[in-house]
Chain A
Amino acid sequence: LGHGSGGRLSAELLGHVLLPALGAPPDAVAEDAAVVTVAGAELVLTTDAFVVDPLVFPGGDIGRLAVHGTVNDLAMMGAAPVALALAYIIEEGFPIADLRRHTASAGAAAAEAGVRIATGDTKVVGRGAADGLYVTTTGLGRRLPGARMSAGAARPGDAVLLSGPIGRHGMAILGARESLGFEAEIASDTRSLHRLAAAMVARGGAALHAMRDPTRGGLAAALNEIAAASAVGIMIDEEAVPVPALVAAACDLLGLDPLHVANEGCLVAMVAADAADATLATMRATPEGRDAVRLGTVVADHPGRVVMHTLMGGRRVVDVLVGEQLPRIC
């Protein structure tokens, strides 16, 4: 099973195995979180499992990541986080001190985000049945008034906005795990994005069509998901893609494409053209969106496909990765 890297195989696992097994219609749009209406109130529910290796990395640890990832999934659906539930699967022999530390860090991240960790669960499994610590986080949020975004709602003409530089989380993790020499220099961008998202909803409202946090599979996967779910094409400019110099250098050394590298602290949004400038200004006024940029445009051409104007002057298809990276060059 090579389905873990957030690429085409992950999408296939979801589309061909998981959704059908749950009786979902085959064309169901896979969102980051689900909207559930309870007694007239629009609630948003999400759950995520975190299996990051290593547990501690520059810029964060599994506790912070678990909170941020879940808060962000709620935020991408336009929800203010209300409460989180935390479940641990712990390998026998895992140091108590480390457990305390990751939990404290989850608590701190929740406090920063203004969300309560309301409940939790722990299970200990035998040595080798798990690798250290796995965390599953469930999040409940209340959908903000006027939030209507969905991965399937991008429209031709929309501006593609990105809240900040890409590639830091994935490279920080890889560097820390494999000691590749740049681990001291690149820190993860992990953080909560719900305040940024709320500001955008307040400013954009109905003009805010789609929003995603480009986590596993990177910006390429997030854009491809939106293009597919909305049956639109997306054109971006390579020149506009913000890649920190250290990330670019590390990617070059490792033969990775920054567009495929995971992020935990930025979002991409499809916004109606006439609201784009105002939304961008709103984003830049927040700490999380200070470096926001306009990446490109949603188009009617090549539905389902993301294409990039390259620095060399051509147009390149931006595809999602197929499992582990298999070169297509002959």
Chain B
Amino acid sequence: MQDAGERVASRIEIHGTVQGVGFRPFVYRLGRDLGLDGWVRNDGGLVVMEAAGPAEAMRALPARLRADAPPHARVHEVRIGEPRGRAPAYGTGFRVDPSSPANRVATGDDLARIPPDLGMCDACRTELLDPSDRRHRYAFVNCTDCGPRATILDELPYDRERTTMRSFAMCEACADEYADPADRRFHAEPIACPACGPQLTWRAAAGDRRGDDALDAAETLLRGGGILALKGLGGYQLVCDATDQAAVARLRARKHRPAKPFAVMVTGPEEAAMLAGLTPAEVALMTSAARPVVLVARRVGGPLATAVAPGTDRLGLFLPATPVHHLLCADLARPLVVTSGNLADEPIAIDDGDAGRRLGGLADGFLGHDRVIRSRYDDSVVRVAAGRPSVVRRARGYAPEPLGLPFPAPEPLLAVGGQLKHTFTIARDGTAIVGPHTGDLERQDALEAFTTSLRQLCRVAGAEPRVVAHDLHPGYLSTQYATALPLTRVAVQHHHAHVASCAAEHGITGRFLGVAYDGLGLGDDGTLWGGEVLLADLRSYRRIARFGRAPLPGGAAAVRRPARMALGYLFGAERLGDGPRPPLEALAAPLLRRLPEAEVGTVRRMVSRGVNCPAASSAGRLFDAVAALLGLADNATYEGEAAVTLETHAAAHGAAPALPWRLTTRDGLVVYDPEPTLHGALQALRDGADTGSVAAAFHATLAAVTVAVCTRAAERHGTAVVCLSGGVMQNRVLVESLVAGLAAAGLTPLVNERVPANDGGLSYGQAAVAAARGRGE
């Protein structure tokens, strides 16, 4: 028997991602193990406990709360104080109390943390496949370690009654498991079983069905080469047999997506390994709770239809995140194409009626269910480059998990991002939440998805922005949205935002060199940039180097047609050298012969007269031009297609020596003149070099140029950190040689890992800059 004098009582607040991750059950068990009396509950976005017990146990408690936390929890802070009321009485035991809803004060000065969705765990999968289990083949199995979270959440705290599961009353068996501390479904909020939970539904021309019959109908459709609209975790998906060339071709035609690679879902890592060469890091990513699409090296041959991923040696593979995905994959025993349920560049459909309207012409049948999707989270895409995982699209399973900011935001802020691959970020103090990916804002559906999820995320996370950060481009619909808000505005240059996104992820607070290579972004001089080296910190930047400019004949038309970009360089590249122009046109005869005469003539005239020919200092456009000059891509049916093709050829060839290049100076900037490089590439082609070797040499050239510029700038400005960002940094061949080259030169290269290097990461970079600028100047 203990003496009352040895007892200590405390109130403990646990901040972080602590809801929807089995934290209360964990605290409950910990409390019992340590012999404590008291309670734990969700309170606003926090977990709060008051406990009394032996002094030694109470001293050990905070460390145990951190060290033993469930795998998906992120404990940010443990605050210890005095109990608010009477200390829990001795011998009353430890219990889970009802949540205290929306007590915003309790979230302190942090944004509330919304738990991302978690892929199905092994224990649940075992039950799913066990004929003797009461959840055998039940498509909505979940537990405290897995299942829907952010996608079904209305409000914090995360409890069943504040999710779209509230319309399903628990049966007795489920209620018992939910209340049993020894059960792994103790306080599993979306707990369900065939008797009480959501049911699959099937809608097709031939008639509607429910439950197992619905799944059967969907599988019959897929076996027959049909296209299925599947209501997934964060939105509708389109699914077809990945080994059926005709089915994949049909999906491409209906989706107006001629060539952009499709992701492929397989049952497990073994099946994945048959389609692709996987590194342990890639397997770890693939099997992680986020279950992202992982871009991996495709095996030559194999059962996949060629239409799945034409023109690239990479393949997006992922494992089932939910029971219904697992059942489809396992039953059909073949890889499945799984792609967003939308038209290209539009947001994924989540509402049943909307999906029916928008996907009706795309799918042959709908496998849905009666659980509402509250928030839209597309599948995430990740890859490993230079040994580090880096996210290409940050959505289901990752968003809206908060990221840190090196400089806390003095006022709550909103960063509205760019135009394509759009995301927004809300931030308060040291926390930033990057919202889900909404597509191209020029699409009305994307614009609506953006404003809807912004409102929703602000409400749930408890953010009331006072400052809005946006791009300089007045034509971005995000900029127009921002300028109409009655908030303090911070304009952030596109490429500064890119490199800041990388620096902020890595906690860089001082000066760094920012290498921003992407397609196009508006510069502070009113011209288009895209091949820039900045001397920057999170507050400001100075442009110190750029690529030579070339006209974009027809503006966006030149982006969609790399062959035009090639003509832009041939006819109008910025003159940076002395001496006579090298005979680029003569060497480019194959391109000029291949293109329609009228087009070549008009483009030549457009360039000489400056008709709709904005000039850009862009790295991405140079990639396009080289791909076209090499005869690899005259058109781009999706963003970056030409560059992907060029990279694929370079990767297949392996290492190559650089082509000629030249650095010069203009208006105080170091300028890379691509003319000698283009000349060298065309000469090599004329002399019979194969396209792979020239593609590889071109990559090597850009790496050499960049390392030279950075080495020189690092010396002059006394900074060794180099942040690499922008859409071009999705090119693995380039990034890996850059990282190696910069490291060999004694510099510290950093790349984006947790937010995309493409425009999906812009909003986070804008937030980091706005926060840094907001610190009392």
The answer on a CB contact under 8 Å between A327 and B361 is no
Report A90-116 residues with CB < 8 Å from chain B CB. none
Q: Say whether B443 contacts A327, CB under 8 Å.
A: no
Is B447 an interface residue when CB atoms closer than 8 A count as contact?
yes
- How many chain B residues sit at the interface, stated as a range, is 35 or more
> Smallest Cβ distance from B572 to chain A, in angstroms?
15
Which of B256, B420, B605, B614 sits near A330, CB closer than 8 Å?
B420
Q: Is B554 at the interface (CB under 8 A from chain A)?
A: yes
Instruction: Tell me whether B611 and A312 are in contact (CB under 8 A).
Output: no
Q: Is the CB of A325 within 8 A of B614?
A: yes
Q: Cβ of A314 and Cβ of B443 under 8 Å apart?
A: yes
Contact of A302 among B346, B420, B444, B554 (CB under 8 A): B444
Q: Which residue of B lies closest to A306 (CB)?
A: B444
Complex: chain B residue closest to A257, CB-CB: B556
User: Which residues of chain B are within 8 angstroms of A179 by Cβ–Cβ distance?
Assistant: 605
- The complex places the Cα of A321 from the Cα of B612 at a distance, in Å, of 12
Q: Are A328 and B445 in contact (CB under 8 A)?
A: no
- Nearest-CB distance from A222 to chain B (Å)? 18
Residues of A within 8 A of B420 (CB): 328-330
Give the complex CA separation of A180 and B494 in angstroms. 34
User: Do A326 and B614 have beta carbons less than 8 Å apart?
Assistant: yes
Alpha-carbon distance between A312 and B362 when the two chains are bound, in angstroms: 12
The segment from B9-17, B69-77, B283-291, B472-480 that touches chain A is B472-480
A-chain residues with CB within 8 Å of residue B518 when the two chains form the complex: 330
On whether the beta carbons of A313 and B477 are closer than 8 Å, the reply is no
Within the assembled complex, what's the spacing in Å between the Cα atoms of A10 and B29? Answer: 68
Determine whether A178 belongs to the interface, using a CB cutoff of 8 Å to chain B. Answer: yes
A174 CB contacts on chain B under 8 angstroms? 611
Within 8 A of A (CB), among B535-568: 552-559
A253: chain B residues at CB < 8 Å are: 554, 598-599, 602
How far does the alpha carbon of A57 sit from the alpha carbon of B556 in the complex, in Å? 28
Nearest residue (CB) in A for B606 is A254
Chain A neighbourhood of B445, CB < 8 A: 314-315
Per-position contact with B for A176-198: 1 when CB-CB < 8 Å, else 0?
A: 00111100000000000000000
Contact digits for A242-259, partner B, Cβ 8 Å, 1 yes 0 no: 000000000011111000
Contact A322 B475 (CB under 8 A): yes
Q: Which residues of A contact B421 (CB under 8 A)?
A: 330
Residues in A with CB closer than 8 Å to B557 are: 252, 254-255
* Contact assessment for B611 and A322 in the assembled complex, using a CB-CB cutoff below 8 Å: no
0/1 per residue, A65-102, Cβ < 8 Å to B? 00000000000000000000000000000000000000
Separation in Å of the A253 CB from the closest CB of chain B?
5
Q: Choose among A180, A316, A326, A329 the residue that contacts B519 (Cβ–Cβ < 8 A).
A: A329
Q: Are A329 and B475 in contact (CB under 8 A)?
A: no
The answer for the CA separation of A316 and B447 in the assembled complex, in Å, is 10
Pick from A178, A255, A314, A328: contact of B473, CB below 8 A.
Answer: A328
Q: Chain A residues with Cβ under 8 A from B330's Cβ?
A: none
Q: Does A290 contact B (CB under 8 A)?
A: no
Q: Which residues of A contact B614 (CB under 8 A)?
A: 324-327
**A-B contact list, 6 entries, CB within 8 Å:** A178-B609, A178-B611, A315-B443, A317-B442, A322-B474, A330-B518
Q: Which residues of A contact B (CB under 8 A)?
A: 8, 174, 178-181, 252-256, 302, 305, 307, 312-317, 319, 321-330
Using a CB–CB distance below 8 Å, which chain B residues touch chain A?
A: 256, 343, 345-346, 358, 361, 418-421, 441-445, 447, 473-477, 494, 518-522, 528, 552-559, 598-599, 601-602, 605-606, 609, 611-612, 614, 620, 639, 727, 758-759
Minimum-distance CB pairs A-B, first 3: A255-B554, A255-B557, A315-B444
Further contacts, 19 of them, CB under 8 A, given A180-B602, A255-B553: A8-B475, A181-B605, A253-B598, A254-B602, A254-B611, A255-B558, A256-B554, A314-B346, A314-B443, A316-B444, A317-B447, A326-B522, A326-B528, A327-B520, A327-B555, A327-B614, A329-B556, A330-B521, A330-B758
